[in-house]
Chain A
Amino acid sequence: MPSARLNNARLPRLLSTASLRLALTFSLIFGVGAALLVAGIDYGLFRFAEAETREDLTHQMNIMEGDAARLGGGGLIAMLEAQSRNHEARRYLFLVITTDGQTFSNGLARNAVNDEGFRHNLPNKPRPPRWPDQTPDLLVLSHTMPDGTLLAIGRDAKHLDELRGGIRTFALWSGLGVIALAMLAGLALGYQFLRRLGGMNRSVDRIISGNTSERLPAVGLGREFDELAANLNRMLDRQEATMEALKSVSEGIAHDLRTPLGRLRNRLEELEADAGDPARRQTGIDLAMQEIGQITALFDSLLALSRLESGQNPQGAPIDARGLIERVGEIYGPTVEDAGGTLRMHAPDAALPITVRGDEHLLMQALSNLVENAIVHGGDGPEITLDARQEGNYAVFVVADRGPGVPPDEREKVLRRFYRMDSSRSRPGSGLGLAMCAAVANRHGGTLTLSDNEPGLKVELKIPTTHAD
C-alpha cells in the first residue's frame, strides 16, 4: 500500500528534507544571535560594575587621604586598626605603609599594590576564592602621600566575575535551548509540511493513474500554499475540460465519419448491383461522390476549427459590417428564394458605417454558416432576417429565423462540436457550424449568443468595432 510505504519512509525522509536543513540553519542563526546578545550584555554589565567599583574606591581613597593628612600616617593606622573590627569596614582591604615603616594591612599584600593608581589583581585559580579567607580577585587603588606614606584600598571584584560567569552560563543554556527549540519547530514544521505534501502527492498519483476528477486538498499552511493548490486545481480543471472535449471530438469524428462511410459503402454495393444500367450507375457514382464530399467537408471543418481555436487574434484589415451583410444577403438570397423563403436585410445606414477589425474570410464563413443554419433548420419557407447594428464598442450581426428555434437548455450545448439536437439529426450538417461560429467570435474577442426570436432562433454575433481598442 502506498500510504504505508510513505509512513515508514517519513522519518528518514524528514531528515533529508529541505525543512531539516532550514531548521538547522535557523538554529545556527538563532544560536549565533543569542551568543552575540549575551556577549553584549556581559560586556556592558561588566563595564558598568567595574566603573561603579572604581568610583567607590576613588571615593574611599579621598576620605582616607583626608584622614591621613589630618592624623598623619600613624594616626591613620590607629584609626584603621580601631575600625577593622567594624563589620562595614570589612568590605574593603587596606594597606598603609608609613615612611618610618609602620604598616597596617587587613589582608592586602604589598606586591598586589601599585605605588599609584588602579591595579586589577586577577586570581590565578579558575574560580575566585571566598573572600576574605584568601587573596581574592581584587581591584586596588593606591596613592603615595607627599610625605611618602603609601595608601592602598582594595575591593573584592568577585561579584563582577560571578556576574560574568552567571551570564555566560545563562547564555550557554539559553543558547542551547533556543537551538533546540528552533530544531524542534523546524522539524515539526517539516513534518506538517511533508504530511500535507504527502497528501498532495498521493492525490497527484491518483490523478496520474486515471482518476481525473480528483482535486488536490488545500495545504493549509498559509494563503500562498492554498493559492498554489487552488491554481493547480484550476489547471487540472482546464486539462480535464480539454480531455473531455478531445474525447467528445474523437467520439464525434468516429460517429460522424461512420455515418457517411456507411452510406458510401451502401452506394458502392448498390453500384455493384446496378452495373448493367448506365443511368443508374451514373446516379450511384454521383451519390457516392457526394458522400465523399461530405467526409472531406467534415475534415476541412474540423481542421479549420482546430486552427481557429489554437490561433491568435486576427490582425486583419478594417471590414465594413454593412458590406459584409450585403454580400451574405446577395450570395444567399437566391438559395433562400429557391427554398421558398424570404431573406430580409436591415443593413445599417451607410451614413453611419460600422467597421470591425478582423479576418474577413472567417466572418464571412461564420455569417454564411448562420444563414445556412437558418435555411436548413428554419422550417419550411424560412423567413430569415439579416441585420447589423452598433452596440457600444461592438458590431452586432443578427441572423434570425421564424422556425422551431432552440430550447433555452439546449442553447449552450448546440455551440459544442458535434452536438446536434435530436430534432435536427435527420437534416444535413456536421454539427460543427455553430462551434465554428463561436470559435470565430472568440478569436475576434467577441461572443456568439443564441436567443428566442418568438418564434424562431435569433443568433447574435458580437465583434468588437475598430474603436474598441
Chain B
Amino acid sequence: MTALVANLAVRLGALDLDVALEVDERGLILVGPNGAGKTTVLLAMLGARRPSRGRVAIASDVLFDSADGIDRPTEERGLAYLPQNYALFPHLTAVRNVAFGIRGPRAERLAKARGLLERLGVGAVADRHPAALSGGEQQRVALARALAPSPRALLLDEPLAALDVESRGSVRDFLVAELRAQHRPFVVITHDRDDIRAFDAPVAVIERGRVVQRAEPGALPTSAATSFAARLFGSPGAD
C-alpha cells in the first residue's frame, strides 16, 4: 500500500506546529479546534508553507526533507488539494476548471474533463461558471478537477462544511464512495462527527499544533485526551 508520511515542524505567527502523520489508502481524518494547525499541515505537505524542519514522502519518493535539502515544488509533488471553499477558478467554466490539470492537445483535454464531470454526475453543468453552480455541484467539479491529473494522494480541507444540511448527507456518501474507489491515500479535515463515522478512517486529533490523540476506525476511544476530543468522541448526540 502507498503511504504518505509527513513529519512537519512549522512556525507561523502564533502557531507552533510539530506533527508526525502517516496516511495509507484507508485515509486519515484530521480533527481539531480552529487554529489548531490542520490547514497548515495540508499546506506544508503541498509545499505552500515551508516547514522549518521535517520530511514528507509518498511511497519511496521524498517530497521534502530539511536534512537533505530536498524541497520539491508544489507542481511536482502530485498531491491534489481541495480547499474549504473549493477554490474553483471563477473565470473558467466547470469543464475548463477540470481541463486545467490535464496535459495534451486542447480538444483531448476538454473531452477528458467532460468525461470526468459526467462520471461524477455533473456533466450537465460542464459549461457553467462556478458562480452558477450549487454547493454540491461545486464540490463535485472541484473533486473532478483534483482527480484529473491522477494525483498520488488527496488532501481535503473541510470538504462538506460549505454545504447545507439537506445536500450534506448525499454529498458525503458520494465523496466517501469516490475516495474509497480511488485507492489513494487521502487526508480529510473535518469538525463533524457524522463525517468521522462516514469516512471510517483512522483519526488524528490536533490541538495547538500537536497530535493529542489517535484513533483507529470503528474504535473511537472511550477515554478522551482533551476536552475537545471528549466533545468529539463523546456520547452520540452530545453536540
A and B part of one assembly: no
Chain B residues in contact with chain A, CB under 8 A? Answer: none
